[in-house]
Amino acid sequence: MAVWGRLKASASAMQAQLVSRKHELRSGAFRDASMAMCALVAAADGIIDPAEQVRVAQLIATNEVLQNFAADDLQRRFEANLDRLALNFDHGKTTVLHEVGKAKKKPTEARAVIQIGIIIGGADGAFIASEQAVVREACHALGLPPQEFGL
């Protein structure tokens, strides 16, 4: 089975895990890291597609876990990370991965950030190689083995 096929099969389980840990996912580090992850995935192929921005905005508005935070604040943080990536992708990616790394101290938050990245990556029905690559890089920034997530 293709990587996305395996991940898609577990996407609802990932979302259920996130919801079950909602009360643990309230820190500023998680907020910052999750919005950085969303920006990384949205810009993974080097193109910031407006459709991907809409998907993230929908996630921000509807995801039960992210509702721990003000939607306008999340949107602002997401767009600030996208701006960094648009200005200079390689330099921006370093900065944005640093934001992702803020969740490293709490394993529950770190895993949730990766799960959000996978959910965003697959929101269009295809978790492409460039999206998988940035999620793997985020795993390393968080000290998590990519294999844990089937990557």
- DSSP for 70-134, please give it: -HHHHHHHHHHHHHHHHH-HHHHHHHHHHHHGGGTT-HHHHHHHHHHHHHHHTTTS---HHHHHH
Instruction: Return the pLDDT at 1.
Output: 46
CATH number of 3-19+26-149, picked from 1.10.357, 1.10.3680, 2.60.40, 3.40.50: 1.10.3680
Is the pTM for the entire model greater than 0.75?
yes
φ/ψ of residue 140, rounded to 5 = -65, -40
Mean pLDDT across 95-123 = 91
Is the per-residue pLDDT at 2 higher than 70? Answer: no
Is the per-residue pLDDT at 137 higher than 90? Answer: yes
Instruction: Return the pLDDT at 8.
Output: 58
What ranges do the domains of the chain cover? 3-19+26-149
The Cα 128–Cα 95 span in angstroms is 23
